[in-house]
Amino acid sequence: MLFSLFLIFVGAALFATLALAARQSLIIGYIVLGVVLGPWGVAWVTDTQLIQDISNIGIIFLLFLLGLHLSPNKLFDLLKQTMFVTLLTSGSFALIGWGVAMLSGFTLSNAIVVGVACMFSSTIIGLKLLPTTVLHHKHTGEVIISVLLLQDLIAIVVLLAFQAVSSEQNAMLELAKLVVLLPALIGVAWGLKKFVLMKLFFKFDRIQEYVFLLTIAWCLGIAELAYAIGFSHETGAFIAGITVATSPIAMFISESLKPLRDFFLVLFFFALGAGLNITALGDIWVPAVGLGLAMLVAKPVIFRFALRKVSETNRLGWETGFRLGQMSEFSLLIVFVALQSALVDNTTVYFVQLATLVTFIGSSYSVVLRYPTPVAVSDKLRRD
């Protein structure tokens, strides 16, 4: 494990330097490094499942930090504003993905899963390339966050549905968990925050190390509680963040956890590249690249159209579309769950995996060159 971390972070520093010199996103460097060092490259790092498990903590922290910046009232207002946009765009992306898969010779069931996988944009890339000033203080950041949140909620419902198909329990009973247990989870988290967490914060808030440890315990504790009752860790982490969002210590927590989040996200993108089985792509790599390019072209156009329908500006529509112009980490999770549920075959998984990587690379490149980001090479576009 130590040798693997040595290879990953020394390699990440090297590839990040090359990526910045080539005016690329750092994320692309991490993915390419995974392809090179992984089992299908030079095979210097072979235990990619362990790296993937550890890197998932980065996604948990990312959702926790996202929740920290959204008070419940603001969250509901944002979701109401972008409900139409999210449903229209997600449905359109699903139709495009289904159409490309059918034209590529996939069966109907496999094509439907491909279409569902195309519905979502990456929360990680969308937020990673969004400057803090835009994230917290501008309407563009609010729109992007609310769209991503609604997409994540849809993805959670889809994952529950796929899991229900392979479950011995009644499918309706499995889906009913969302209606009954989710409000219960929110209630428990709110109660623990009010009567336990905040009392500890206020009593020992001068000891920064203690606040840091208590924050991590809170995030991972609620995430594990959510997982124990059938939801994802990411759902629990997001709820943990929202419950603390209105506290005066929220901004300190946010700043203190960012380095930890970034550490795990490097591992996440490395594992993503390392998990791509190049030898299994065969004849599907051409349509997979075609699907990725279709998403890169269609998403900005459709987002711009949908946002104009709700009276947003052209400029906001295009920027939102380019920033959300990729497929998602949920796309990968959905096809993996569908594979476990015997809804798709391995070829479909590789197809979606390659298409997702194409969109990650293409979208990151286009955003870094067009819009302000924390990792831009140009001083004019670099924003923290």
**pLDDT for position 80:** 74
**Lowest mean pLDDT across 106-120, 181-195, 286-300:** 181-195
Find the mean pLDDT for residues 287-306: 94
CATH (residue range 2-370): 1.20.1530.20
176 pLDDT more than 60? yes
pLDDT digits over 73-128, tens only? 766 776 777 888 999 999 999 999 999 999 999 999 899 999 999 999 988 788 77
In single-letter form, the type of residue at position 18 comes to L
133 pLDDT more than 60? yes
156 pLDDT more than 80? no
**pLDDT for position 107:** 92
Q: Which helix (H) or strand (E) holds 42?
A: none
Structure tokens at 168: 């011995």
Structure tokens at 81: 């504003």
Question: How large is the angle between the packed helices 208-228 and 171-192, nearest 10 degrees?
Answer: 160
DSSP 168: S
pLDDT digits over 247-274, tens only? 777 777 877 887 887 888 888 888 888 8
Find the mean pLDDT for residues 295-318: 91
Burial 16-31 (b: 16+ CB within 10 A, else e): beebbeeebbbbbbbb
Q: How many angstroms separate the CA atoms of 243 and 245, rounded?
A: 6
Burial 43-79 (b: 16+ CB within 10 A, else e): eebeebeebbebbbbbbbbbbbbbbbbbeeebbeebb
Find the mean pLDDT for residues 184-194: 90
pLDDT digits over 199-258, tens only? 888 888 788 888 889 989 999 999 999 888 877 787 888 888 888 887 777 777 877 887
Q: How many angstroms separate the CA atoms of 183 and 380, rounded?
A: 45
Q: Are 274 and 48 in contact (CB under 8 A)?
A: yes
**pLDDT for position 261:** 78
315 pLDDT more than 60? yes
Q: What percent of the chain has pLDDT over 70?
A: 89
**pLDDT for position 72:** 66
Helix (H, G, I), strand (E, B) or coil at 373: strand
Q: How many angstroms separate the CA atoms of 286 and 155, rounded?
A: 27
pLDDT digits over 15-44, tens only? 989 887 776 777 788 888 998 998 888 888
DSSP string, 292-331: HHHHHHHHHHHHHHHHHHTT--HHHHHHHHHHT-S--HHH
Question: How large is the angle between the packed helices 139-166 and 314-323, nearest 10 degrees?
Answer: 40
Structure tokens at 316: 């906001």
Place of tokens 């010199």: 21
Closest of 2, 19, 50 to residue 268, by C-alpha:
50
377 pLDDT more than 60? no
Q: How many residues does the chain have?
A: 384
Q: Are 346 and 282 in contact (CB under 8 A)?
A: no
**pLDDT for position 336:** 81
**pLDDT for position 121:** 92
136 pLDDT more than 60? no
71 pLDDT more than 80? no
Task: Tell me the CA end-to-end span of the chain in Å, nearest whole number.
Answer: 32
Rounded alpha-carbon distances, angstroms, from residue 362 to 56, 94, 254, 299:
23, 19, 29, 12
**pLDDT for position 223:** 92
Rounded alpha-carbon distances, angstroms, from residue 353 to 281, 329, 334, 360, 365:
10, 9, 11, 11, 19
Q: What is the overall mean pLDDT for the chain?
A: 83
Domain ranges across the chain: 2-370
Q: How many angstroms separate the CA atoms of 285 and 179, rounded?
A: 40
Q: How does residue 375 score in pLDDT terms, banded at 50, 70 and 90?
A: low
In single-letter form, the type of residue at position 235 comes to T
Q: What angle do CA 137, 128, 94 make, to 5 degrees?
A: 100
284 pLDDT more than 90? no
